[in-house]
Amino acid sequence: MAEAAFIYEAIRTPRSKGKPDGTLNEVKPIDLVTTLLREMTARHDFDTARVDDVILGCVGPVMEQGSVLPKIALQKAGWDETVAGA
């Protein structure tokens, strides 16, 4: 039997270039994701320990984006340590 999946909310980061001539060139990817996670908890005031997984899309992971960005962002945003990030 398949388990149900629930999408709580879909929020995206600002769109721009992260290249030297782009408006997001000084913003770290981890800070973009952490801002999204904090905004989600502020909007809905829920217990993050009830979340099973956070799945994050990253177009071209390079350098610091190449790590497990979702899990690190969850920790930095103060979510429960049991929440998995992929």
Tokens of 54: 């956070």
User: What is the maximal distance between C-alpha atoms in the chain?
Assistant: 50
What pLDDT is recorded for position 53?
87
Residue given tokens 């497990």 in the structure block: 68
Could you state, in order of their start, the residue ranges of all structural domains in the chain? 29-85
What pLDDT is recorded for position 8?
66
DSSP 70: H
H or E segment to which residue 39 belongs: helix 29-44
Contacts of residue 62, Cβ cutoff 8 Å, sequence gap at least 6: none
What pLDDT is recorded for position 77?
94
Beta pairing class for 84-85 and 53-54: parallel
Answer for the pair 45, 76: CB distance below 8 angstroms, yes or no: no
What pLDDT is recorded for position 7?
67
Which residues, given as ranges, of the chain have pLDDT below 70? Answer: 1, 5, 7-8, 18, 58-67
